[in-house]
Amino acid sequence: MTARETNLVNAFETTLAAQLASGGTSINLTDDPGIDAPVYLVIDPDNDSNREVVLWSTGTNHAAATVTRDIDSKHGTDPTHASGTKVRLAVVKQHFDEAHDAIQQGFVLEDGDGDEVTIAPAVASGVYTQREVKFVEGGGIDIDWTDTDNGTDGDPYDLTFTVDLNGLAAGTVDVAADSIAIIDADDSNAGKKESIADFVDGINGAGIDASSGTLVNAVIGKQSMWIPAAAMYPTQSNGCASITGVETTAGRPDMYVLDFDASSDENAQFSVAMPSYWNEGTITYQVYWTTTATDTDGVAWALSGVVCSDNDTIDVAFGTAVVVTDDALSAAEDLCVTAESGAVTISGSPAAGDLAYFNIMRDVSDANDDMAEDARLIGVKIFFTVDDVHEA
């Protein structure tokens, strides 16, 4: 039968205040039993042939109590009970049946995905065996009873769930696929997850870039340094002219230049103590130059280099020169800037802190070098790559 709660008192007996006809569904009790529906009542309990068990199913008015007739199915047709017939509230089979049904029915636990498990005792030969539910600790979750005393509303049992990050298993970071937990301030501080790559991208600031979930120093990469002609010197053999100061117009920029003539290859040199954070790879360069004539003839420049380490000899050969060509502009004293050269390999075995020597030459044998007058070198801009931002 259906499990339901029914009400009992230690003892109660009264009479019908009015006849209960066959098929009737409402009874009028002379006295209030002191409890409300639902409750089982026995009408005419001492009469074996006319005894009837009814269920007062709803309501609080004992004088107009709606009932379900013949709960035991003892009578084919509901009997008629005269006014004054005895009515007794007694412990009857239905009370026990419904108590047992309620126990057997148990309760249902549902997880967050909607899967349900019915927790009910096992019954064998009328004996009930209790069931247990276990809370299984998972990665980073510790579950303990922290108070098992009393169990009342004022002092309930306490089952404590503790997040223990030290208890999490070690993992391998997959920047593209893994996520981390965050508190989302834009969504009422709700717990959310965010990909590691997006998190890293969100915290990169000035001077820092994010690439595929990795923070990199934005300064690392291609850098440049300016070497003015005033920091250079003609070579001892086949050297260019010495440094010359040239006034454009009084009060305007003066030029300090090295003049390279058109009759033969002439050279100048300079040296640079390369920064320790240079990646010791190839370099490129641009030449800044001008001319004394108004024409559009071309010139060819060639740069080569070699490095020397501490205790190395300086009597070493330069590496292969790399040529870059350029054409003069239309007027004398116009600034001419070459394109960036191809890669220049520095000879020797580059290492942190090396001193690099460079040779800059006007290569008059190059087909593009057809300028008859001197080419005036203003300076060289060297491009190199760094893999750090601090000196070692």
Predicted confidence at residue 247, as pLDDT, reads 93
Question: How far apart are alpha carbons 180 and 203 in whole angstroms?
Answer: 14
Q: pLDDT grade, residue 22 (50/70/90)?
A: very high
Considering the chain, what is the average pLDDT of its residues?
87
Highest mean pLDDT among 76-80, 101-105, 169-173, 176-180: 76-80
pLDDT value at residue 29: 94
Under 8 Å between Cβ of 118 and 106: yes
Q: How far is CA 14 from CA 59, 63, 206, in A?
A: 18, 12, 91
Residue 78 pLDDT > 90: yes
- Give the residue carrying structure tokens 């690439």: 211
- Distance separating the N- and C-terminal Cα atoms of the chain: 87
Share of the chain above pLDDT 70, in %: 89
How far is residue 70 CA from its own chain's centroid?
67
Torsion 270-276-277-278 (CA) sign: positive
Q: Write the CB contacts of 23 (distance below 8 Å, at least 6 apart in sequence).
A: 69, 78
Q: Would you state the structure tokens that stand for residue 375, as one six-digit string?
A: 């080419």
* Residue 3 binned pLDDT confidence (cut-offs 50, 70, 90): low
Topology of domain 223-386, CATH = Jelly Rolls (2.60.120)
Average pLDDT over residues 102-108: 68
Pairing verdict, β 86-89 and 65-68? unpaired
Residues 6+ apart with CB under 8 A from 313: none
- Give the model's confidence band at 257: pLDDT under 50 very low, under 70 low, under 90 confident, else very high: very high
Query: What pLDDT is stored for residue 156 in this prediction?
Result: 92
Q: Which tens digit of pLDDT belongs to each residue from 322-365? A: 999 999 776 888 999 999 999 999 999 999 889 999 999 999 99
Is the pLDDT assigned to residue 321 strictly greater than 80? yes
Which pLDDT does position 96 carry in this prediction? 60
* Predicted local distance difference test score (pLDDT) of residue 228: 98
**Does pLDDT of 42 surpass 60?**
yes
Q: Which of 279, 349, 285 is nearest to 323 (CA)?
A: 285
Q: pLDDT (tens digit, 9 = 90+) per residue, 289-314?
A: 999 888 788 999 999 999 999 999 99
pLDDT value of position 337: 96
Cite the beta strand spans of 69-178 per DSSP E: 86-89, 107-110, 116-119, 122-124, 127-129, 141-147, 158-163
pLDDT of residue 225 exceeding 60, the answer is yes
Predicted confidence band at 99 (pLDDT cuts at 50, 70, 90)?
A: low
> In terms of pLDDT, which residue wins out, 239 or 351?
239
Can you point out the beta strands (E) in 202-283?
208-211, 214-217, 221-228, 233-234, 244-247, 254-260, 266-273
Q: Are 362 and 266 in contact (CB under 8 A)?
A: yes
Q: For residue 38, what pLDDT band results from cuts at 50, 70 and 90?
A: confident
pLDDT, tens only, 121-141: 777 776 778 778 888 888 778
Tell me the backbone φ, ψ of residue 203, rounded to 5 degrees: -105, 0
The reported pTM is 0.53
- Local confidence band at 377 (pLDDT 50, 70, 90 cut-offs): very high
Residue 351: CB atoms within 10 Å? 14
> Over the stretch 201-219, which tens digit does the pLDDT of each residue have?
777 766 666 666 676 666 6
Q: What is the pLDDT of residue 361?
A: 98
Q: How many CB atoms lie within 10 A of CB 274?
A: 22
Higher local confidence (pLDDT), 103 or 42: 42
Bond before 234 cis per omega within 30 degrees: no
Q: What is the mean pLDDT of residues 360-382?
A: 95
pLDDT the model gives residue 183: 87
What confidence score (pLDDT) does residue 137 get? 84
Tens of pLDDT along 165-174? 787 788 888 8
The pLDDT value recorded for residue 16 is: 95
Give 346's strand partners.
none
Of 161, 370, 118, 385, the closest CA to residue 274 belongs to 385
* Token duo for residue 256: 């300090």
Q: Which pLDDT value is given to residue 211?
A: 67
